[in-house]
Structure 1
């Protein structure tokens, strides 16, 4: 407890003791404990315990019930479920003695939460039903809403999404009717979450954006963070990983400055780790998980802590760190068991099953999967149950037990498709294909692609997964999509050259009818004439299913028809009319096949990775891997292993693991934020560029590196060199070709085209009929500075399209900070609220700047040390310095 909080508590106690009337003093103590609970739960607990003693001595059952219910909730949030259970029971008993149904409802709600956390869903549901009954009898609207919300959660967990959604929608209607803006936010987040579980992702996204819009308008910053976290989770499931990473990174940056630290920081760090792991940034994901473990451990949030521990263990498994996985699983299991967190314990058991698979202990693995499946018996149609079915089914396929494996995998496919979860759905489908013969395999391929159409992933993901299914299910050597003879997407098992070089192998060409003038062909290599004849009905159906996503993919990648000088360029961004951008793309088209290193410079969000991918996709290396590493997101100690891999036995319990330079052999390595590399790693990267070889960490085996290196930074490399933070010789090696991307504020002539492009894309993705943008909206977009550049614009337009009810975007759909001032005054709440928000923002900015200067001065203006002292990464610290225009005094 800080000195400041001691002073505050003393003042609170003096004020309470000055109240003569006992009832008034107890009422004031309740109010004080509610306020204290937000910043100091331990202090609130002391006041509530004193209130319980006073209430018992006065026979004030009403006050006793309320105090006990609050104490129970504090214990529940701290993970002390046994103590919480006892306190909640006493609270219900005291409320019944008081005869006040309202407080009985409040106590029953807390009792239900405790049973819920322990996985005792039947008892929890009984508490919520009694809470709802007492709330309706006493006219206690908050109790009614709380009971409906919790019943909805239980119904969702039990695989009854329609009933759960009905409960949440009833809550939303009540909140809108009574004009409760904060209640409406919570209900919209809950409705969105349930729609997400239902697989209705577009509607879920709309609910989250509407909640965020209300929060911006009303100044509900905490709720905005919650809604943003839910939106980010949805981005991860939809494999929109760049958006997810950017969103969670912004939440982490905002929450990191909060004092004291809050659970939201730990939750955001956990989700950031998930997004990074999903896009292959394993080292960055590990670092994010480690921070989350520290934050959640310090805050005492047991439930979220167990979750991040088993996620960290799962990532250790995937990187061959078996002893680390065992260590994290041990912590997770102990914490979950001690706190009565049955659902989290089930997840821990599932991951332990995967660990036993890796160590070869089949009986132990089988036992773990059986136990995990049993724990989810009450919720058989949940995502978590489907994940156990997938992993257990995959294990049984390997063990040669096809009958049960098939049943489990079919259950997993059904759930994942209902929830529109693409990757897991098709992984389960691929496992099923391994069990089927050729005849059944063709039908399963068609069913799999039809399932993809229902899920509606991004065109590139749709086509890639469809080709994988064809390759696996039909047993062909390769499946390649060609556009005018050039490869767009491929799936191959490596037995023959892929793409255009597959001519040596017998193949069958299947025409795909698209609206454009291109000749689109699906080439299936290694199929006999008899197989083609047998599969003809299925193949024709596949061609029809692929027509729309392939057409969208070709549209996104085609630029040469409009710009003959960019012949051969494959670029998924908007070309536009900006001279600097056009010159950059001309450079990309010219040097794509040269193989020389390229340095891309530009602010965050300007499209540096788009350019790197264009260099790769436009070159002869396009059939090989493209591996990206964000150097700023990976701790210094892990970055070398991420680059060069780890040798077997480099440390106890560490298996061999390839790094990105080996995984990308023949392809491209994209190094983002190179200014954050340590001097030692810079020297090793220089060696790779000079000699095309490296050694894995802890090994002495030299590995040849056949990769093209594209590097990027948003920092002033010249200043870094002058300050001694970057090697000049490495800079010259990387900067063989330099591309400097202009910020969006310098591409005003392209803004209208970019806006219309994102409107079309978002309307198509979310099933909207937005076809135009009002002049007032365009004017507001034109004057905005766009500090987040194209990434920010894309997010703003997507949100506006989702919120739009008409055929044209209006300024009402724009975020508060981009709307014209006149509209903010008309719809943004009272002038008092606006003034309060502006004053708070100025005060926060001044405090932040003072903190930065203080850290710099204490560390002798050493940025790395100052960043560590402040608890930021160097990249975050540099962004804050630029925001506050702080530079070292001369």
Structure 2
């Protein structure tokens, strides 16, 4: 008896302090548990809900649209269901629910719903979609004054690897196949995407870009596919980016940050050529070219399990790899000249060049932020110039000057053995391979002993053995 009371008290405390809303109904549809999170989410007091039938409390729900009543009737779980409804006070509530039946000896005794509050996210989604629609209307009405876009003329460089990437992009512009662009942050992936679009047959149609890492997952889904007034109450008919980009191009940046379930929905759209709005029942055909981009090696992303292999094969029809700035340093003087000319006009300056000392420092710097970082440095320096014609180190902000001239270019105790290292990833991989092989031989190829000596798991060691073809 004491244990039963203890368990009941424990359950009550857990339900009141977890972050999710909990709503439990009995076999007759009456609420028996309604925790404080759910109460706050829906703006209702527990006394208004507990002991009452769910349809009496939520008048806009029906036997069909209420997930709790549907699970009570069917005995089947509903997972991650997006639901919008009006509560007793007329307040619109949006949530993502997982609803499970409570079953004993084959009989459904009730149902429990675990809900995450998505009301604010839903409102933000509607605002963003509305803004997108307004921008697209302005785009179509004022084509003569349309926003600046980039073409192949804006891609500056003479490096062989960079020119190869441009050549691939120019060929891609002549087709309608999907494109996958791989490049580190700041290398200019969107510039390539826009260049492809504006030299293609779709150039008179919209180009819409969306960074998949910039917004929450649930918001991203509604932005991409839109929402429909239909299967759940409170939803509004709104087209998503696929419909807004009709006839044109949809650029999905950092696609590797998209969740696997959403990647599966994207794959279905690419394969079948239609979308279904969230909450809708109608399949809507779409004619949109997808250009996707990833800021890490897609094959590594597949190994990590963050990129679906089937989606990769579907979008990787044309593959473009943009080299990082550290691997095209011969383009740095050309880029500096380009940005100086650009900011001369924009900032009304008369800068001619960069000092030799600063240019040498720029050539030795690693540029983790790539071309974007270089552009920001030039802009920052030119804002500090008055009646001068040469950019010098004193024109850089203190932190940048330290970073470039001191932090990354010290020659104190320099080891000449590393002068010929021009691919750090490959160099480190070879060192790792030698260390693993040495320990393998030392331990007579015993995997358990070797992994213990290296301080890594057996699974990790086996992965590396396959990677370096040591077994």
TM range, normalised to the smaller chain?
A: 0.5 to 0.7
Alignment-derived partner of residue 618 in structure 1: 199
CA contact (8 A) 1:650 1:697 kept: no
Cα separation, partners in 2 of 1:762 and 1:736, compared to 1, 3 Å: same
Cα shift at 1:703? 0.9
Alignment-derived partner of residue 815 in structure 1: 397
SS in 1 for 2:313: helix
d(CA) in 1 for partners of 2:313, 2:346: 43
Cα separation, partners in 2 of 1:317 and 1:611, compared to 1, 3 Å: closer
Q: Deviations over 1:728-762 (max 9, x none)?
A: 11111110010010001111010001011111111
Alignment-derived partner of residue 770 in structure 1: 351
Matches within 5 A, 1:180-219: none
Cα shift at 1:635? 1.6
Alignment-derived partner of residue 672 in structure 1: 253
Alignment-derived partner of residue 598 in structure 1: 179
Cα shift at 1:317? 4.9
Alignment-derived partner of residue 282 in structure 2: 701
1:730 paired with 2:324, answer no
d(CA) in 1 for partners of 2:129, 2:246: 19
Q: Deviations over 1:126-149 (max 9, x none)?
A: xxxxxxxxxxxxxxxxxxxxxxxx
Alignment-derived partner of residue 646 in structure 1: 227
Cα shift at 1:720? 2.6
Alignment-derived partner of residue 342 in structure 2: 761
Q: 2:168 aligns with which of 587, 602, 616?
A: 587
SS in 1 for 2:346: helix
Alignment-derived partner of residue 749 in structure 1: 330
d(CA) in 2 for partners of 1:662, 1:686: 16
Matches within 5 A, 1:674-689: 674-689=255-270
d(CA) in 2 for partners of 1:590, 1:320: 35
Q: As a proportion of its length, which structure holds more strand? A: 2
d(CA) in 1 for partners of 2:403, 2:309: 47
1:658 paired with 2:248, answer no
Alignment-derived partner of residue 712 in structure 1: 293
CA contact (8 A) 2:165 2:322 kept: yes
Matches within 5 A, 1:57-206: none
d(CA) in 1 for partners of 2:310, 2:262: 13
CA contact (8 A) 1:490 1:623 kept: no
d(CA) in 2 for partners of 1:314, 1:677: 19
The number of residues matched between the two structures is 287
Cα shift at 1:724? 2.9
Q: For structure 1, which runs of at least 5 residues remain unmatched after alignment? A: 1-308, 322-422, 431-463, 469-478, 481-488, 492-552, 558-569, 826-887
SS in 2 for 1:801: helix
d(CA) in 2 for partners of 1:708, 1:821: 41
Q: As a proportion of its length, which structure holds more helix? A: 1
Q: CA RMSD in A?
A: 3.3
Matches within 5 A, 1:314-329: 316-317=126-127, 319=129
Cα separation, partners in 2 of 1:785 and 1:818, compared to 1, 3 Å: farther
Cα shift at 1:665? 0.3
Cα shift at 1:598? 0.5
CA contact (8 A) 2:365 2:404 kept: no
CA contact (8 A) 1:626 1:668 kept: yes
Alignment-derived partner of residue 21 in structure 2: none
d(CA) in 2 for partners of 1:810, 1:731: 46
Q: Deviations over 1:828-875 (max 9, x none)?
A: xxxxxxxxxxxxxxxxxxxxxxxxxxxxxxxxxxxxxxxxxxxxxxxx
Cα shift at 1:657? 1.2
CA contact (8 A) 1:784 1:818 kept: no
Matches within 5 A, 1:252-263: none
Matches within 5 A, 1:508-657: 570-649=151-230, 651-657=232-238
Alignment-derived partner of residue 372 in structure 2: 791
d(CA) in 2 for partners of 1:763, 1:593: 35
CA contact (8 A) 1:601 1:712 kept: yes
Cα shift at 1:315? 7.1
CA contact (8 A) 1:643 1:660 kept: yes
SS in 2 for 1:778: helix
Cα separation, partners in 2 of 1:746 and 1:823, compared to 1, 3 Å: closer
Alignment-derived partner of residue 507 in structure 1: none
d(CA) in 2 for partners of 1:609, 1:687: 24
Cα separation, partners in 2 of 1:697 and 1:311, compared to 1, 3 Å: closer
d(CA) in 2 for partners of 1:311, 1:775: 52
SS in 2 for 1:621: coil
Q: Deviations over 1:306-359 (max 9, x none)?
A: xxx9999787456479xxxxxxxxxxxxxxxxxxxxxxxxxxxxxxxxxxxxxx
Cα shift at 1:770? 1.4
Matches within 5 A, 1:452-467: none
Cα separation, partners in 2 of 1:607 and 1:770, compared to 1, 3 Å: same
Query: TM-score of the superposition, structure 2-length normalised?
Result: 0.55
Matches within 5 A, 1:303-382: 316-317=126-127, 319=129
Q: Deviations over 1:467-508 (max 9, x none)?
A: 93xxxxxxxxxx65xxxxxxxx769xxxxxxxxxxxxxxxxx
Query: TM-score of the superposition, structure 1-length normalised?
Result: 0.30
Q: For structure 2, which runs of at least 5 residues remain unmatched after alignment? A: 1-118, 408-458, 462-471
d(CA) in 2 for partners of 1:670, 1:584: 17
CA contact (8 A) 1:621 1:667 kept: yes
SS in 1 for 2:213: coil
d(CA) in 2 for partners of 1:822, 1:795: 13
Cα shift at 1:573? 2.8
CA contact (8 A) 2:361 2:404 kept: no
Q: Deviations over 1:439-466 (max 9, x none)?
A: xxxxxxxxxxxxxxxxxxxxxxxxx89x
Q: Deviations over 1:153-186 (max 9, x none)?
A: xxxxxxxxxxxxxxxxxxxxxxxxxxxxxxxxxx
Cα separation, partners in 2 of 1:731 and 1:319, compared to 1, 3 Å: closer
SS in 2 for 1:623: coil
d(CA) in 1 for partners of 2:357, 2:315: 44
CA contact (8 A) 1:644 1:695 kept: yes
SS in 1 for 2:236: coil
d(CA) in 2 for partners of 1:313, 1:694: 22
